[in-house]
Structure 1
Amino acid sequence: MSKPAYVYVIYVHGTPQELYRALTDPEYVAAYMGGTGPRSDWQVGSPVDWKMDPNGAFHDYGQRVLVAEPGKLLSYTWHPLQPEHRTIVGIESDEEFAAAATERSQVTFTLEEAEEPSAGSKLTIVHDGFDSPQSKMLRAVSLGWTMILCELKTVVERGGPQAARPS
């Protein structure tokens, strides 16, 4: 039996190369993640540091790049729950947090041209490896990734992080 996963597909008017850049370029990431998000050199085996607070620092939570194929595929391990996530995901007891903090997962972005050329590109995210359908991290990433990818779409379709927002 396979482990539970979050899967989401979004179509973006941009090329797979533009989507890959949006996933890996610090300016893009800051634009659609509100100054938070991942940072790496995006080489296989490299750390993926994460900034949880726009005014905070980047931290190494043990995430590592698994696959990095520009314009095609990006995959990295995901961090276990951290103390700062406890309130966000709704964990009250120390026992529940200790159990939830051992869970490891990974996220994979597949980038390809859309089946219909006028649709742009197809971005598929699979965040998998969760221990159970009741996983606190699965619940958190399911909401988080949906919002993040909608913002990514907006940034890419407006022409990048420097493009002016319409008034």
Structure 2
Amino acid sequence: MDIAQFKPKTVYVTYVAATAEQVWQALTDPAFTRQYFGGFSVDVEPRQGGAFRLLYPDGRTHIAGEVLDWSPPQRFSCTWLVEGMKEFAELPVCVVTYDIAPAGEAVRLTMTESHSWNVPDAILAGGQSGWPAILSGLKSLLETGKAPKLEMAPPPGFMEAVAKAVAEKPWLKTR
């Protein structure tokens, strides 16, 4: 995989009144992620090249990938493939990167979702609506001790765009 082929398509920045170590733990500890990530828990082998998974509450794999950068508590980057939903399993992997930087009495958390193909806007809309909700939950959990229960659904046209992309495989035509 040529990481240089991946271009940022979704970037979300939030400021969290916590330490870098607390934000890092919230991103990489299963007990934390379960509280703000819709019941999903992270399972990560803490090293570059290690396995990354996001697990359903029953332990099945929803997201699978490989750790690309493990630099606690500043940067965590991994490939991201939705295996737990057959509609998505044929899409190319994307790269999700969390950057944590000091910002006065808080830290700046930047999540970047990068892709190697020209992803349709209707598919990008899923992450553009999902990431703010997920990371707002992380922020609330660290700042107040409680993550809000959010109702989330795919944006209009999202599932149709995924089905079309899987059928047409436009990423193969750009190589």
Instruction: Choose from 113, 132, 148 the match for 1:127.
Output: 113
Divergent runs of 4+, >6 A: none
Give the secondary-structure state (helix, strand or coil) at the position aligned to 2:48: coil
Q: Map of 1:43-82 to 2, 5 A cutoff?
A: 43-51=47-55, 53-54=56-57, 56-59=58-61, 62-79=64-81, 81-82=82-83
Residue identity opposite 2:95 in structure 1: Q
As a proportion of its length, which structure holds more strand? 2
When normalised by structure 2's length, the TM-score is 0.70
* Counterpart among 24, 29, 49 of residue 25 in structure 1: 29
Q: Distance in 2 between matches of 1:67 and 1:2?
A: 15
Aligned residue for 1:141, secondary structure, equals helix
Q: Structure 1 CA distance, aligned partners of 2:139 and 2:131?
A: 12
Of the three residues 127, 136, 140, the one matched with 1:141 is 127
Aligned residues: 143
Shift of 1:102: 3.5
**Root mean square deviation, CA, Å:** 2.6
Cα distance in 2 between the residues matched to 1:160 and 1:83: 27
TM-score when normalising by structure 1: 0.74
Alignment-mate amino acid for residue 107 of structure 1: V
- Kindly, what percent of the aligned residue pairs are identical? 28
1:84 maps to 85
Q: Distance in 1 between matches of 2:108 and 2:84?
A: 35
Gaps in structure 2 of 5+ consecutive residues = 148-175
Shift, 1:109, TM fit: 0.5
Superposed displacement of residue 138, structure 1 = 2.7
Structure 1: distance between partners of 2:34 and 2:6 = 34
Q: CA deviation at 1:106?
A: 0.3
Deviation at 1:132, TM superposition (A): 1.8
Contact 1:4–1:131 (CA<8 Å) still a contact in 2? no
Aligned match for 2:90, one of 101, 104, 107: 101
Q: Give the 5 Å matches for 1:27-42.
A: 27-42=31-46
Give yes or no for contact 1:11–1:121 (8 Å, CA) kept in 2.
yes
Between the aligned partners of 2:6 and 2:42, the Cα distance in structure 1 is 27
Q: Distance in 1 between matches of 2:101 and 2:116?
A: 26
Query: Greater RCO between the two (CA within 8 Å, min separation 6)?
Result: 1
